[in-house]
Amino acid sequence: MIVEQIMQTKVYTLTPKDTLNDALNLMREKNVRHIPIVDEAKNVVGLITSHDVKNALPSCLKEENNKAIYDTPIEKFMVKDIIFGHPLDFVEDVAMTFYESKISCLPIVSGGKLVGIVTTSDLLTAYIELTGAHQPSSKIDIRLKDQVGTLADVLAIVKKHHANVLSILVFPDTENENSRIITIRIRMMNPLPIIKDLRNHGYEVLWPNLPGVNL
């Protein structure tokens, strides 16, 4: 999946000379938390977030009257060292950028112009849709040996029970470096027959692990 598939294309912007009050009103009116700041040529020169606004108001209240604070140009508070993304970037690469840089949004630029924005909410929505967690389904966690063919064998068992696979995730096994934890989400509300079959074939099912249920 690439960024242009999840980015918001309707982006609300302000200029450096707009005021803190303009940013506050725009955030409230449009229910947004991130506003790119653009110059006359529509180039992104800054970014202001709801967090920046909240931080700006208390610190200024100690020294200035309210009107002076709200009339202060955004350029005094905006972040100028901005990280940009491109519409053709992979979503997982963008997620890594969010994680490593500890940011909450990423302006998306193409040809030097702002074409969209991605926020943590967009990434979370994409994750939910990719995993199928928003659909009626069941999740099965299995510890598998890290060797060729094991996942294919597990999927063959799932197929035998006529269950559609919505997503497959692979995680490191913190207890055994020679194995992996596989999370399979299937479109089936009662996965117990599959779990029983997996265990009969010698697979270690970690979840669901239901006390008192003899599988």
pLDDT of residue 104: 94
Alpha helices in the chain (DSSP H): 20-30, 50-61, 66-70, 91-101, 120-131, 150-160, 192-200
Last residue of a domain, one of 78, 111, 128: 128
The answer to whether residue 213 is domain-embedded is no
The answer to whether residue 215 is domain-embedded is no
The answer to whether residue 142 is domain-embedded is yes
Assign residue 145 the CATH number of its domain: 3.30.70.260
Total tally of structural domains belonging to the chain: 2
**Using CA atoms, how far apart are residues 113 and 136, in angstroms rounded to an integer?**
40
Place of tokens 């979370």: 124
Query: Residue 78 corresponds to which amino acid?
Result: M
Clarify whether residues 15 and 115 are in a common domain.
yes
pLDDT of residue 69: 85
The residues with which 179 forms a beta bridge, in sequence order, are 145
pLDDT in tens, the chain (215 residues): 999 999 999 999 999 999 999 999 999 999 999 999 999 988 999 999 999 998 887 655 455 556 788 899 999 999 999 999 999 999 999 999 999 999 999 999 999 899 999 999 999 999 999 999 999 999 999 999 999 999 999 999 999 999 999 999 999 999 999 999 999 999 999 999 999 999 999 999 999 976 554 55
Q: DSSP letter for 203, please.
A: -
The gap from C-alpha 155 to its chain's centroid, in whole angstroms, comes to: 27
Clarify whether residues 31 and 105 are in a common domain.
yes
The answer to whether residue 214 is domain-embedded is no
Tell me the DSSP string of 120-147. Answer: HHHHHHHHHHHHTTTSS-EEEEEEEESS
pLDDT of residue 61: 47
Last residue of a domain, one of 77, 100, 128: 128
Clarify whether residues 99 and 166 are in a common domain.
no
DSSP 3-state of 49: strand
Clarify whether residues 17 and 40 are in a common domain.
yes
pLDDT of residue 57: 78
Last residue of a domain, one of 68, 99, 128: 128
pLDDT of residue 194: 97
Residue 130 makes CB contacts below 8 A (sequence gap 6+) with 1, 167
pLDDT of residue 106: 97
Clarify whether residues 104 and 155 are in a common domain.
no
Show the domain range for 178: 135-207
The gap from C-alpha 156 to its chain's centroid, in whole angstroms, comes to: 31
Predicted structure pTM score: 0.81
